[in-house]
Amino acid sequence: MTDAALANAEKPRRDWTRGLLRDPRAALGVALVLLAVILAIGAPLIAPFDPETPDFGAILSPPSAEHWFGTDDLGRDVLSRIIFGARASIVVGVLSVAGALVVGAAAGLAAGFFGRWTDAVIMRVMDVLFAFPSILLALAITAVLGPSLQNAILAIAVVNLPVFARIARAQTMVVRELEYVDAQRALGFGPWAILLRTVAPNIAAPLIVQGSLLFASAIITESYLSFLGLGVQPPAPTWGSMLRNAIGFLDMGPWLAWFPGLAIFLVVLGFNLLGDGLRDRFDPRETR
């Protein structure tokens, strides 16, 4: 392929990205998400102190030039713990949403494309999962399996499975009736070839948008689980466990609750704004 052809192939992608970033909401969302990812990846280099090492000479120190966000009841630097806490939130969000997306989309594709008993069995299982309130189902799974990062990821993935399965099924039922799918059947393409090469790429957009929105939900759920002691275990820092620890010190150290709560708010806001921007860009009916 010539350089000119490569440039022409890349142009729609560049235009799409520029269009996304021209939306102030989406641009703010991208900035907040990138900040969280940078903090999570570069935590050992960015954090000014070890997040797990106590300093009994600086217990409950208020925000200062040395400790920008203050210290906790063991003298640990709150800013460093928030930076390292971003790792747990990003890891849980990425792995749980990715797992739910892959499994849920595969189930929805099969249910929507093959129909009949396949549809009935898969969607009844999803209906059972969907009948439980998400946070209660996540609590039940982690309570049975035990508190850990891996079990929190599994619980959040299971909670989000029905959402992806329903979206994939609905979109697949629309796409499978389109003319180009009928043309592929007439040309002798098998059902799996049509499903994987034609149907799956054409239903990807709404799944991606929903994934970005559920990323925010996954971070909130992980914070719930850590707050209740069912997520990542101490002394590893997470935003939820930091909020739980702050309950007993709200009078003496209110900053212990301010900054972890603000971190959760900003990251969740970022993913919600990014999801709104992606939805607008993927929607062909969207006009400005």
Q: What is the pLDDT of residues 140-199, one digit of tens each?
A: 899 888 888 888 999 999 999 999 999 999 988 888 877 777 787 777 777 788 787 888
pLDDT given for residue 13 in this prediction = 54
Helices 149-175 and 78-114: angle between axes, nearest 10 degrees: 40
If you ran DSSP here, which 8-state letter would residue 67 be given? S
pLDDT given for residue 95 in this prediction = 92
pTM of structure? 0.83
Dist CA 16 CA 151 (whole Å): 37
Would you call 18 helix, strand, or coil by DSSP? helix
Question: Does the pLDDT at position 44 exceed 80?
Answer: yes
Are 87 and 205 a contacting pair, CB within 8 Å? Answer: no
Question: Dihedral (C-alpha) 164, 169, 171, 176: value to the nearest 10 degrees?
Answer: 150
pLDDT given for residue 19 in this prediction = 60
The fold for domain 83-288 equals MetI-like fold (1.10.3720)
Are 151 and 221 a contacting pair, CB within 8 Å? Answer: no
Question: Which of the two residues, 231 and 285, has the higher pLDDT score?
Answer: 231
Burial 66-90 (b: 16+ CB within 10 A, else e): ebebbbbeebbbbbbbbbbbbbbbb
- For the chain, the average pLDDT equals 84
Which tens digits make up the pLDDT trace of 183-214? 877 777 777 887 878 888 888 888 888 888 88
pLDDT given for residue 269 in this prediction = 92
Domain ranges of the chain: 83-288
Which tens digits make up the pLDDT trace of 22-35? 778 888 888 999 99
User: What are the tokens at 194?
Assistant: 């049509």
User: What are the tokens at 137?
Assistant: 């189902």
Question: Dihedral (C-alpha) 275, 278, 283, 287: value to the nearest 10 degrees?
Answer: 100
